[in-house]
Amino acid sequence: MSDETTRLPDQFTEPGTGRRINLLDYQAANMRGSWYLAFFTLALLVAIAYLLAQVTDPGATIFFVGVAALIGVGQGVAGFWFSDKIALAASGARPATVEEHRYLVNVSEAVAIGAGVPMPKVYVIDSPAPNAFATGRDPEHSSIAVTTGLLELLDRQELEGVIAHEMAHIRNYDIRFMSMLVATLGAIVVLRDLVLRWSYFGGFGGSGRRSSRRDSSGGGGKGQGLALILLVVLLVLAPLLGALARMAVSRRREYLADAAGAFITRNPEGLASALEKLGNYSGERLQVSEGVRSLYFVNPERRMNATGLWATHPPIEERISRLRRM
């Protein structure tokens, strides 16, 4: 059954825009995008390291660039091979056993059969806040995690809808792209924090003096001053751009996964009603770190389910109404 493209139709109408999407193209774009991200990160890290070297110690350029390249390659490899384990560990997920979670395992097996994907590994997160996410690098190495709150809140058809939504992410290779994105952003954030902390402790002291001297003498500090400005711009902009890109793409992803999930179960109402229940939930929140927030079925930070530039997820009401119009 590992034969590709058994289940979902090749053509899919993007909900909302009505555009036809070829799912095979979409998958290919996700895989290509994963590579672009890895190279983008590598290039960015190397650029930052180079500028950093110019500002502080031009003699050590090779060392700085070398370290940055290592970090860049490392994060790419980690994003591909380990980000599922990291995401699962970070959310405190534990494997769902047949004995303890027979219901969840049965539902997942059934939906996997319907979706034509291998059975993903299923995990449970002990939290009353209802939510779920999928991670991994391809359908053969994929995991789905759901919270205990989700299991308690939803009935069987609603749970099927949520699981089918996650299976659609797996099928579309969204999981690989998102994993790489999370790893990329993680690397940038770590780098930014490193540089910021280091600068507090006077790392830029020398260059600061040099650039002020530049005003009077107009000497050799000019190049370094420029590098410093560029560096600051890069450090401030990089995470911002990354975050914006991530949010924009993941909103489209959610709509498409909703549509594909509804197609797998042939029951849009199950997913719509699950979303409704999750939208009305007002209990304890799920503690999720910034980096993996966009992986989740609904945004763990409720106030960020709003519309606008900063939303990682489309508004729940809009998702429901699109499903009910299907």
Q: Which residues bind other proteins (CB under 8 A)?
A: 1, 3, 6-7, 100-104, 106-107, 109-111, 113-114, 116, 124, 126, 148, 151-152, 155-157, 266-267
Active-site residue 100, yes or no?
Answer: no
User: At 313, which amino acid appears?
Assistant: H
Q: Among residues 6 and 217, whose Cβ is nearest to other proteins?
A: 6
Q: Within 13 Å and on the Cβ side, how many CA atoms surround 118?
A: 12
Least CB distance to other proteins at residue 2 (A):
10
Spell 262-299 as b/e; 16+ CB within 10 A means b.
Answer: bbbbebbebbbbbbbebbebeeeebebeebbbbbbbbb
Structure-token pair, residue 214 = 């530049």
Q: Among residues 16 and 114, whose Cβ is nearest to other proteins?
A: 114
Structure-token pair, residue 112 = 């996997």
Q: Among residues 131 and 267, whose Cβ is nearest to other proteins?
A: 267
Please state whether beta strands 93-95 and 121-125 pair in parallel, antiparallel, or not at all (unpaired): antiparallel
What is the DSSP annotation of 120-145?
PEEEEE--SS--EEEEEEETTEEEEE
Least CB distance to other proteins at residue 103 (A):
3
CA 144 centroid distance within chain: 14
Least CB distance to other proteins at residue 288 (A):
21
What angle (nearest 5°) sits at the alpha carbon of residue 27, between those of residues 238 and 168?
Answer: 100
Least CB distance to other proteins at residue 97 (A):
11
Q: Among residues 150 and 238, whose Cβ is nearest to other proteins?
A: 150
Q: Among residues 170 and 185, whose Cβ is nearest to other proteins?
A: 170
Least CB distance to other proteins at residue 175 (A):
21
Cα gap 41→149, rounded to integer Å: 36
Which one is catalytic: 166, 290, 301, 317?
A: 166
Please state whether beta strands 141-147 and 121-125 pair in parallel, antiparallel, or not at all (unpaired): parallel
Structure-token pair, residue 83 = 């980000």
Catalytic residue set? 166
